[in-house]
Amino acid sequence: MSDTSARWFVIRLSPDLATGELLNIGVGIIYNKQVFTKIIPNTKPFELLYGDHVKENLSFLLDLLKSSRDSFSALKSISPHLSFSSLNFVAGDSVEGILDRLYKSMIQIDRNLNN
């Protein structure tokens, strides 16, 4: 039985706005009017792709994402380098369980790098 139903979204990063490349870096849900997110834990995948010079700026951006829980609209205004999928319905036993399940299925860039 699913005790928790919410709306979920994917958080995407465009490292270079000119190219339009999008990388899934996290997932979020809106439950009881509060935003909960699960974001890649560090910048390691981006350092492997783009070099060490990206670490400081991306660390700052990830920290902002992880600390923003006010509202979905506040989350969307953090940076033009971030975009969000449309909201979809999801259900599960808990907020954490839903986030873990969505993260494992949607965030390819973190696989086998931080385990």
pLDDT tens per residue, the chain (115 residues)?
568 899 999 999 998 889 888 999 999 999 998 999 999 999 898 888 888 888 898 898 888 888 776 677 777 778 888 899 999 999 999 999 999 999 999 998 887 665 4
Phi, psi for residue 44 in degrees, rounded to 5? -50, -45
Which residue do the tokens 């490349």 mark? Answer: 21
The pair of three-digit structure tokens given for residue 46, joined into one six-digit string? 């981006």
Residue pair 91/101 in contact (Cβ under 8 Å)? The answer is: no
**What letter does residue 81 receive in the DSSP assignment?**
T
The pair of three-digit structure tokens given for residue 60, joined into one six-digit string? 């700052």
